[in-house]
Structure 1
Amino acid sequence: MAEGVRGAEADEDAGAHAGGGVRAPARRERAERVRESFVLVPLLGMAAAVLLAVATVAFDLALSWLSAVSGAEEELRDTLRSLTESANAVLGTAGPATLTVLGVVFSITLVALQMATGQLTPRVLYLFTRGWVAKLTLAVFLGTFVYTLVVRYAGGLLADEEAGMPFIALVSTAVAMLLVGASLVMFVYFVDGTVKMMRPTTVLDRVGRETLRQIRALPRDTVPAPRKASVAPLEEEGRGGYVRTVRSRSDSGVLVRVDTARLLRWAVRNDAFVRVLRESGDYVATGSPVLEVHSPRRPAHLGRVARAVRTGAERSTFQDPAFGVRQLVDIGVRALSPGVNDPTTAVQCIDRLQLLVEEFAQVPQGERVVRDRKGRVRAAVPLPQWEPLVELAFTELVLFSSGQPQVTRRLAAALDDIESHVPEARRAALRRAREELRRVCVRSMPEGLVEFAQTADHQGIGG
């Protein structure tokens, strides 16, 4: 067993190239968990505030003790007493005020975000929870409140008026004022970010950048996708004697990520090959097939490998760039609905979709493979495929572009540009979309505008 663990660790190091390894994806997965968590950063901010309060209280306690034992003059003691009263007043006001402002600001912000997502799509609300500005703002505000609370409580415990040694919160008060200033600065950035979230272009850019980052992170070490799920690659290596389908043991939900590190360790220990049967974004019910195991003998602990397939309440762009494309299409389709009738927003969606599809054209088709130190394929994970992604990006927009020459002209330009940048083998899906766009224009446009509506224009109707 120890040899298998050491082998798995070596495999992780050996496969770190071209997306075939697991160490870099594991780091990305941990970073993604931090980004998706809305409580981790605020909790760390409150913990840091407690530590800072303990440090400043200890420093002020030393100053108070020195002033008491030094035999200061009466005038100096009166001044120190006045400073103590002023410090207590500042600390007593700063903490509750920041907490009150925080509650009001976040309440108004959530209402504004609900209005914004109602105009675009509810699936972009996660951008707010993933944003660092909102988390840091919450951390600074809560940290300020906790800091003032701890300092005031510690000051009340440590003050000894009968012995003539009042607690002088000089440094603590200065730090509290700095925290209040930082809260005001974060408040300005938070409001600025929230207002930008209500602008369609800001949301489209953020979705586009995140999706582009995930497409570029897709591995380049792939094998052709099998025609049947039961076909294992490299059968000549003798790992296909035992075949077993593993069912999901997680709660029903959307497949959000596949733990390739766990798959590799388990496959090395059992000399097995594991194929993931479901794609990221698929809804996986408890007990449904998710993995297929090929090995020369009956492997042990099949339940452990099932934990590598993780489900969640909703899709995430992590390991699922098609979800970003889905969001852009949803925004464009809603903009073209009769109740909204905003073709310019649809054109802006097509701008981002063209960039994403062109970038995805550089990704090899097939399955992502995870190799061990000797180069053997130990696991295969399905990747988004070219034709389904092109259909996802353009089919609905083409159908909903009926009667909108601005949109049809921009779609024609996007399809022509992408077709000129991809090899011949990938042009069939684009030509089908172009032909469907032609039929939509013929059906929905006056005869004199059919040719105009099919003319490529990168601005829709522009220069």
Structure 2
Amino acid sequence: MSRELRQRRPRALSPLREHLRDTFWFAPTTTLALAFLLWGAADTLDVALVEALRQNGDLEGIRHLMRVAEDARTIVTTVSAAMMTFIGVVFSISLVAVQMAAGNFTPRIVRIFIRSRISKLTFSVFLATFLLSLLVLTSYETEADPRDVMTVPVVQSALTVVMVLLSLVLFIAYVTQTLQLMKVGPVVERINKESLGEVARMPVQGPDGTPLAPEIARMSHQGHAGVLRDAHIARLVRVARRNGVVLRLIPRIGDYVVPGTPVLAVHGPRVPARSALRHSVSVGVERTFHQDLGFGLRQLSDIALRALSPAVNDPTTAVQCLDRIVEFLAAVAARPLGAVHHRDRKGAVRLVQNVPGWTDLVDLGLTEIRGCAAASPQVSRRMLAGIDDLLRLVPDERRAPLERHRGLLVQAVERTLPEAAERAFALRPDRQGIG
């Protein structure tokens, strides 16, 4: 197997990592535990420092540390009192901004805020600073005699000051990113980036034409109803290899499944134990980007449709969405679609995953926007330019759906605009819409 294919082999913890990224509790909880461990280490250093000075008979050094720590105590006390209020105000304002962005674009962009690393890091550091300040306050002793004092929280106080400075830096970065969520450009670019990331993780080797063995069994979904979010590719490939079979994922990622829906088909000599395939697919409330090739196009189309609605009437936003839709379709123009084959270390096909085909992706990206584009010359011109660019890129066998959408768009514009000059203007391809 080539080196490129080895690098693209699914990682065993990939689904777990993606599911944790879709939560907002994991990072702060982990950071609080780390903050407690960090305080324990700093407290140990403070005890060791006082003990070393006492063994050297340097009582004046201990007195100096006590004065420094007492000065720092004011800062630590202030931080512990103000940090939670600061956290509440900052995140209240941020959630309002996210709500406004969701109303202006699509509710699904809330996922961008939830998955944002800087958002989680900022919230985590804020909480860790608050916890650390409380723990440091418990280390201050009322004993003023340097001969009897056990610890002077100098290292702990310095660590708290460092955490406060880090919180300020992260606050600036966090506010900057939150403001970006209110701008359409960064939002659609983030959606497109995640979509292209899924394209890059797809196997680069298509079907080799070898027919599958006869189907001998199907395994049904036994859990709660919901959207098929992703499949544990590494586990399914491993189970199929051990049993000498090929597994086929029947529904597509993003399909809604109910108990009893066939999920896996087995092709080969024997049926794997159901226990070996437990938790091999994940069902949730809503779709995610992980393994879902069409979810990004769905979001871009939703944003464009809302922009073209009579209540909003923002064709420039629709053009920005079309820019990314064309980029995404260009990225998958030459890739194998319809059925993705996942292989084991020896190159044998072990899992066949049903993914959207080329026609499905073109229809998803263009159909609904095309229905609203006839009355907006800016959108119709950009869509025609995008389709023409794609026609120059795609193989001959993939030209048909693009030509169909081009013809339907031309017909819609001709029906909508009665004047010949207006029709000619609206049907002139332009990559900027109306540049």
Indicate whether 1:443 and 2:420 are aligned: no
Deviations 1:63-87 (CA, angstroms, capped at 9, x unpaired): 334555666678x776555434323
Q: Following the alignment from structure 1 to structure 2, what is the Cα–Cα distance between the partners of residues 81 and 22?
A: 57
Q: Following the alignment from structure 1 to structure 2, what is the Cα–Cα distance between the partners of residues 183 and 451?
A: 57
Q: CA deviation at 1:33?
A: 3.5
The aligned residue for residue 221 of structure 1 is 205
Gap regions ≥5 residues in structure 2: none
The aligned residue for residue 265 of structure 2 is 292
Q: Following the alignment from structure 1 to structure 2, what is the Cα–Cα distance between the partners of residues 25 and 413?
A: 39
Q: Following the alignment from structure 1 to structure 2, what is the Cα–Cα distance between the partners of residues 117 and 356?
A: 23
The aligned residue for residue 308 of structure 1 is 280
Q: CA deviation at 1:161?
A: 5.6
The aligned residue for residue 372 of structure 2 is 400
8 Å CA contact 2:65–2:154 kept in 1: the answer is no
Q: Following the alignment from structure 2 to structure 1, what is the Cα–Cα distance between the partners of residues 190 and 361?
A: 20
Indicate whether 1:205 and 2:189 are aligned: yes
Change (3 A) 1:203 1:284: same
The aligned residue for residue 167 of structure 2 is 183
Match of 1:193 among 177, 183, 191: 177
Change (3 A) 1:63 1:265: closer
8 Å CA contact 1:224–1:367 kept in 2: the answer is no
Deviations 1:222-263 (CA, angstroms, capped at 9, x unpaired): 2289xxxxxxx635xxx43x6111101232111111112221
The aligned residue for residue 45 of structure 1 is 31
Q: Following the alignment from structure 2 to structure 1, what is the Cα–Cα distance between the partners of residues 164 and 55?
A: 33
Deviations 1:263-307 (CA, angstroms, capped at 9, x unpaired): 12222333222111011111111221111112324x242353253
Deviations 1:191-211 (CA, angstroms, capped at 9, x unpaired): 011001111111011111111
Deviations 1:407-436 (CA, angstroms, capped at 9, x unpaired): 111111011111111111111100110011
Change (3 A) 1:400 1:160: same
8 Å CA contact 1:159–1:165 kept in 2: the answer is yes
Indicate whether 1:348 and 2:334 are aligned: no
Count of matched residue pairs: 434
Deviations 1:420-457 (CA, angstroms, capped at 9, x unpaired): 11111111100110011012101222323112111101
Change (3 A) 1:163 1:290: same
Indicate whether 1:250 and 2:223 are aligned: yes
Change (3 A) 1:307 1:166: closer
8 Å CA contact 1:112–1:198 kept in 2: the answer is yes
Match of 1:107 among 88, 92, 103: 92
8 Å CA contact 1:247–1:306 kept in 2: the answer is no
TM-score (norm 2): 0.92
RMSD of aligned Cα (Å): 2.6
Gap regions ≥5 residues in structure 1: 1-13, 226-232
Identity of matched residues, %: 37
Q: Following the alignment from structure 1 to structure 2, what is the Cα–Cα distance between the partners of residues 58 and 394?
A: 63
SS at match of 1:18: helix
Q: Following the alignment from structure 1 to structure 2, what is the Cα–Cα distance between the partners of residues 65 and 268?
A: 61
Q: CA deviation at 1:163?
A: 6.1
Deviations 1:99-140 (CA, angstroms, capped at 9, x unpaired): 221111111111110011100000111001111110110121
The aligned residue for residue 93 of structure 1 is 78
8 Å CA contact 2:8–2:201 kept in 1: the answer is no
Q: Following the alignment from structure 2 to structure 1, what is the Cα–Cα distance between the partners of residues 202 and 349?
A: 17
- Deviating more after overlay: 449-458 vs 305-314: 305-314
Change (3 A) 1:73 1:44: closer
Deviations 1:359-405 (CA, angstroms, capped at 9, x unpaired): 11021134222334554322211122100100111111110113111
Q: CA deviation at 1:460?
A: 0.8
Indicate whether 1:36 and 2:22 are aligned: yes
The aligned residue for residue 362 of structure 2 is 390
Structure 1 segment 419-434 matched on structure 2, within 5 A: 419-434=391-406
8 Å CA contact 1:335–1:346 kept in 2: the answer is yes
Indicate whether 1:60 and 2:46 are aligned: yes
Q: CA deviation at 1:164?
A: 3.7
Match of 2:211 among 207, 223, 234: 234
Change (3 A) 1:22 1:275: farther
Indicate whether 1:127 and 2:112 are aligned: yes
Higher normalized contact order (CA 8 Å, seq sep 6+, divided by chain length):
1
Match of 1:411 among 372, 379, 383: 383
Q: Following the alignment from structure 1 to structure 2, what is the Cα–Cα distance between the partners of residues 245 and 215?
A: 28
Q: Following the alignment from structure 2 to structure 1, what is the Cα–Cα distance between the partners of residues 42 and 148?
A: 21
Give the letter aligned to residue 321 of structure 1: L
Q: Following the alignment from structure 2 to structure 1, what is the Cα–Cα distance between the partners of residues 120 and 133?
A: 20
8 Å CA contact 2:293–2:355 kept in 1: the answer is no
Q: Following the alignment from structure 2 to structure 1, what is the Cα–Cα distance between the partners of residues 3 and 108?
A: 33
Change (3 A) 1:253 1:16: farther
The aligned residue for residue 137 of structure 2 is 152
The aligned residue for residue 299 of structure 2 is 327
